[in-house]
Amino acid sequence: MSDFFKEFSKVSKEEWVTKIEADLKGKDPDLLVVNDAIEDIQFSTYYHNEDSIAENELPGNYPNKRGMNKPSNAFQNGKLILIQNEKEANKKALHALNSGADLLIFKTAIAKTEWKIVLEGIRFEYIHTQFVVQSVQEFETLHSLLQKEANIQYNIDFHEDSFELNDLTAVAQNFKINQQRFCAVNGFKIQQAGGNAWQEIAFSLSTAHEYLVKLMAEGFSIDEASACVTFNLGIGSNYFLETAKFRSLKQLWSKIVRAYSPEHSCSYNCHITAVTTHLNKSLKDPHTNLLRQTTEAMSAVNAGVDALAILPYDIFSSNGESELAERTALNISSILAEESYFDKVIDPLGGSYSIEKLTELVGRKAWAEFQQIDAKGGLFNSEILIDFTQKVTEKRNLRIAFFNEGKITGIGMNIYPPNEEMKNDWAYEVNYLNLKPLILEREYKTVNA
């Protein structure tokens, strides 16, 4: 075998570039360089072995951008349950479990939830569960109920938009011995508001670091504190960039944890739930959403996320989620795992010169932004948070401008729109850190009506 490969001479980068320029037949070589104004990064569409920055990294080893999962690339298939009526929520949860979900994410929209009704008949020992709660009182009610369950695997997520750091004191000791991931970092909403990849990472790192510091002040070791943190990130439409984003977050989170000298290697684990956003989804051309959701899911799974929650494209519409959208959202994850074997290969894009370079570029921007935020006092400082959200708004406005100018295209939205009248509309109005969710289809309709 070795003699066979000796017949092929190595091609230097200079020779390779010469051949590329010849194939361009006089066209400008700069056409092969991407200048991404939204991400503020420039990168080539090709790289050579001489550009390689990848080291011989293995899953489970620092800096952990290949993740901690050694046996496989298994991921959970998540279903978001919005609780507006307890009996209906219970019915949806049981239906989702029978349709392939093994992760339920409960988020309540009512003042006082009767959790016994919501959770009736659910066999928690066979699935994973996340609960998004809005107050310490709600946490105490739910935690008391869940403690009665045996072998339950669950997270209770206090998102930073409704949970003050001071509230940690009231709940932290419940998790000091038996860690549960209850400090949820909601980077998902930064992307949904129109922020770019490295802003989402920088926000996630800054918020998670604040949680670490506060938990250690409550008497947690770094190992105990890191086991209480989980990340919720959005998935955008830029296929390779999104994979690089998740890999970069893992690497930078390990860098932060390492600064506190953990005793156990598992403390470097960056637990990620990836969630599809509605920034690029369409109610006018709903079937195209299936392609968007599939490629977005592939980006996240290729990067080795722990859980994948594909939201029905119409879940935040005035008509609510349709049966077809709900079913296809769950089916995508099942097909990727059970028919396409995406759950078998760990970090399949790792080692690719382009992916490694993109991971480095995104990570470098994210780390610089995180350091700047940290040096000024962190995002829980209101002035720093306002400054950061203004930067996100700038990217949001740039996305809208590019979309309306046709520089960003969306089939069924700003190109090839269907002729039939749409009998549905977006009803997604929940603000997050004073950032309104961005839905490009809605913005285009408003500007070009």
Q: What is the pTM of this model?
A: 0.94
Residue 160 has pLDDT above 90, yes or no: no
Question: What mean pLDDT, rounded, does the chain reach?
Answer: 90
Distance CA 373, CA 268 (A): 22
pLDDT of residue 200: 98
Residue 89 has pLDDT above 60, yes or no: yes
- Asked if residue 133 lies in contact with residue 110, where contact means CB atoms within 8 angstroms, the answer is no
Distance CA 257, CA 246 (A): 17
pLDDT of residue 96: 97
Report DSSP letters for 313-340, one per residue.
TTTTBTT---HHHHHHHHHHHHHHHHTS
More confident residue, 47 or 152: 47
Residue 166 has pLDDT above 80, yes or no: no
Q: In this predicted model, what pLDDT tens digit does every residue of 249-297 receive, in sequence order?
A: 999 999 999 999 999 999 999 999 999 999 999 998 889 999 999 999 9
CATH class of the structural domain 76-360: alpha beta
Q: Which of 153-157, 397-401, 415-419 has the lowest mean pLDDT?
A: 153-157
Residue 381 has pLDDT above 70, yes or no: yes
Three-class SS string for 333-385?
A: HHHHHHCCCCCCCCCCCCCCHHHHHHHHHHHHHHHHHHHHHHHCCCCCCHHHH
In the chain, % of residues over pLDDT 90: 67
φ/ψ of residue 369, rounded to 5: -70, -40
Domain limits, the chain: 2-51, 76-360
Query: In the numeric block, which tokens belong to residue 36?
Result: 């991404």
At residue 139 the predicted structure's pLDDT band, cuts being 50, 70 and 90, is confident
Q: In this predicted model, what pLDDT tens digit does every residue of 331-354 receive, in sequence order?
A: 999 999 999 999 999 999 998 999
Which residue from 287, 293, 302, 291 is spatially nearest to 337, judged by alpha carbons? 302
Distance CA 276, CA 429 (A): 17
At residue 432 the predicted structure's pLDDT band, cuts being 50, 70 and 90, is confident
pLDDT of residue 162: 53
Average pLDDT, integer, range 112-126? 92
pLDDT of residue 445: 67
Q: Which of 38-47, 56-65, 187-196 has the lowest mean pLDDT?
A: 56-65
